[in-house]
Chains A and B, each alone.
Chain A
Amino acid sequence: MSPVSPELPQHPDRLWRHPDPKPSYDVVIIGGGGHGLAAAYYLAKNHGITNVAVVERGWLAGGNMARNTAIIRSNYLWDESAAIYEHALKLWEGLAEELDYDLLFSQRGVMNLAHNLGDVREGTRRVYANRLNGVDAEWLTPDDVKRLCPIVDISPDVRYPVLGATYQPRGGIAKHDHVAWGYARAADNLGVDLIEGAEVTAIDIEAGRVTGIQTSRGPISAGKVAIVAAGHASIIAAMAGIRLPLQSHPLQALVSELLEPIHPTVVMSNAVHVYVSQAHKGELVLGAGIDSYNGFGQRGAFHIIEHQMAAALELFPIFARAHVLRTWGGIVDVSPDASPIISKTPVDGLYLDCGWGTGGFKATPASGWVLAHTVANDEPHELNRPYALERFTTGALIDEHGAAAVAH
């Protein structure tokens, strides 16, 4: 046996401080996931508000930020959606440089397959809608699909033949953990306190205005509070007496073992219902739809996984010998129109950024950007004005169920 190397790797430098909560902040953000961290960063960077705390029940970015499939795209049908997701994509394109952190952002393209006439019509319509909104979009023939992603089975004699696809070349993937860490470090550098292990137990309100929060690490007074708690948004909002039109569901994903690079893009399919990319390290990353019932357990049923894998095999017969390495679940907060709520509330100084459901990761930079604007100005940014809580009363829904290129 050789002796132990004297040069054992040392623990890397911490990326952010671990401060105790101060008694008071100008703004407290509840939820230390990607969106909360991004909001804190943009509050400091864009609005000069640095007396900010991000309060997180567990550890930073340990919820859905650690559990998504890291797909980034902006090819949504409706104007309001295209605007906010395209703003996000433009921010993604400069984000690694801005945060000075390698996000492994890879614009390898996102393909949404069409398997029936309805898909073809919906897809072509969405391509035209995207182009009108300045979002890059192309319609692919089955041969184009094969050329871009040779492992997709385009034979005409399968159960769900590929009839074409929409394609967004600027779409892609990023390394989700790095995104959170990049935002966390940058926010911390600007003076934001990132407070982990602090569970919020109450929201203090006096005369219709928020005054602070109670946490497991003590009370914190705050001029403004934003709820960015994803699956737990309903629970936190209820502490302020607000009922949200959200239902929390398990959403599962899985990875294979590490494989040679074989999958050059991101392939999504509504009809067969799976989405697949290959991470930089080599694992195939698969996701699909939510478990049907309300759930807060961060786990789901195996028959959902079985369906995803059957769908993946239908599209990619070459995956037949791949193995599942790991499956997991997050809790997604699904809204009635599959669009987020980024809004002021009936309580002064209390704001919401929730309801992102199954598709929040791609929006991380824009979500933080517009929430920071909303909090700083007590007025929504033009991009999130349509995403107000009031839309469920006015009827001005942004119905992305099905229209968003993915089934929810």
Chain B
Amino acid sequence: MLLIPCPHCGPRDETEFKYGGQAGIAYPKDPDALTDAEWVEYLFLRDNPKGAFRERWVHTAGCRRWFDITRDTFTNAFENGR
């Protein structure tokens, strides 16, 4: 089980969190102007690296806040240690 360093509560068990996928995906500024290909980019295409990945978690059973963190998807190590 991952020990996730919540920036507000400190390290907590993975079972207290929900996963939010890749971080930094902004809602389109002008959705009406998007082409189909741009919608694909927003809706379906996400990075899927083997290695460092900037991702979102929400501490549902704790402070209930969202945060971004970098984790290595192969080793599961978080950027600021455990």
CB < 8 Å: which of A244, A245, A246, A297 contacts B73? A297
Contact of A296 with B19 at beta-carbon distance under 8 Å, contacts A245-B40, A302-B1, A393-B37 already known: no
B window 1-26: CB within 8 A of A:
1-2, 14-15, 18-19, 21
Q: Contact at A294–B48, with CB atoms within 8 Å?
A: yes
Residues of B within 8 A of A296 (CB): 50, 73-74
Residues of A within 8 A of B68 (CB): none
Contact of A244 with B76 at beta-carbon distance under 8 Å, contacts A303-B15, A393-B40 already known: no
Residues of A within 8 A of B71 (CB): 293
Residues of B within 8 A of A235 (CB): 48-50
- A245→B40 CA distance, assembly (Å): 9
Q: Contact at B46–A247, with CB atoms within 8 Å?
A: yes
Contact of A247 with B73 at beta-carbon distance under 8 Å, contacts A294-B53, A302-B1, A392-B44 already known: no
- Asked if A259 is an interface residue, CB under 8 A from chain B, the answer is no
Q: Contact at A295–B1, with CB atoms within 8 Å?
A: no
Q: Give min CB distance, A94 to chain B, whole Å.
A: 37
- A71→B15 CA distance, assembly (Å): 29
> Beta-carbon contacts of A352-395 to B below 8 Å, as 1s and 0s?
00000000000000000000000000000000000000001111
CB < 8 Å: which of A234, A294, A392 contacts B55? A294
Interface residues on A, range: 20 to 34
- Asked if B33 is an interface residue, CB under 8 A from chain A, the answer is no
- Asked if B32 is an interface residue, CB under 8 A from chain A, the answer is no
- A31→B21 CA distance, assembly (Å): 27
User: A292's closest neighbor in chain B, by CB?
Assistant: B19
User: A389's closest neighbor in chain B, by CB?
Assistant: B40
- Asked if A232 is an interface residue, CB under 8 A from chain B, the answer is yes
Q: Contact at A232–B55, with CB atoms within 8 Å?
A: no
Residues of A within 8 A of B2 (CB): 293, 301
Q: Contact at B19–A247, with CB atoms within 8 Å?
A: no
CB < 8 Å: which of B19, B45, B50 contacts A243? B45
- Asked if A62 is an interface residue, CB under 8 A from chain B, the answer is no
Contact of A248 with B36 at beta-carbon distance under 8 Å, contacts A294-B55, A294-B73, A301-B2 already known: no
Q: Contact at A246–B76, with CB atoms within 8 Å?
A: no
- Asked if B80 is an interface residue, CB under 8 A from chain A, the answer is no
Q: Contact at B43–A301, with CB atoms within 8 Å?
A: no
- A235→B53 CA distance, assembly (Å): 14
Q: Contact at A293–B40, with CB atoms within 8 Å?
A: no
Contact of A303 with B1 at beta-carbon distance under 8 Å, contacts A294-B53, A297-B75 already known: yes
- A394→B44 CA distance, assembly (Å): 12
Residues of A within 8 A of B40 (CB): 245, 392-393
CB < 8 Å: which of A234, A246, A336 contacts B43? A336
Q: Give min CB distance, B25 to chain A, whole Å.
A: 13
Q: Contact at B36–A301, with CB atoms within 8 Å?
A: no
- A235→B19 CA distance, assembly (Å): 22
- A393→B73 CA distance, assembly (Å): 28
Q: Give min CB distance, B2 to chain A, whole Å.
A: 7
Contact of A248 with B1 at beta-carbon distance under 8 Å, contacts A336-B43, A393-B36, A393-B37 already known: no
Q: Give min CB distance, B16 to chain A, whole Å.
A: 11
User: B50's closest neighbor in chain A, by CB?
Assistant: A296
User: A294's closest neighbor in chain B, by CB?
Assistant: B73
Q: Contact at B50–A232, with CB atoms within 8 Å?
A: yes
Given contacts A247-B21, A248-B73, A393-B36, 7 further A-B contacts (CB under 8 A): A232-B50, A245-B46, A295-B74, A296-B50, A296-B74, A301-B2, A392-B43
Question: 9 closest A-B pairs (Cβ-Cβ)?
Answer: A245-B44, A234-B48, A292-B19, A301-B1, A296-B50, A296-B74, A336-B44, A293-B19, A392-B44
22 CB-based A-B contacts, threshold 8 Å: A235-B48, A244-B48, A247-B46, A248-B50, A292-B18, A293-B71, A294-B53, A294-B55, A294-B73, A295-B74, A296-B50, A297-B73, A301-B2, A301-B14, A303-B14, A303-B15, A392-B43, A393-B36, A393-B39, A393-B40, A394-B36, A395-B36
Q: Name B's A-contacting residues (CB within 8 A).
A: 1-2, 14-15, 18-19, 21, 36-37, 39-40, 43-46, 48-50, 53, 55, 71, 73-76
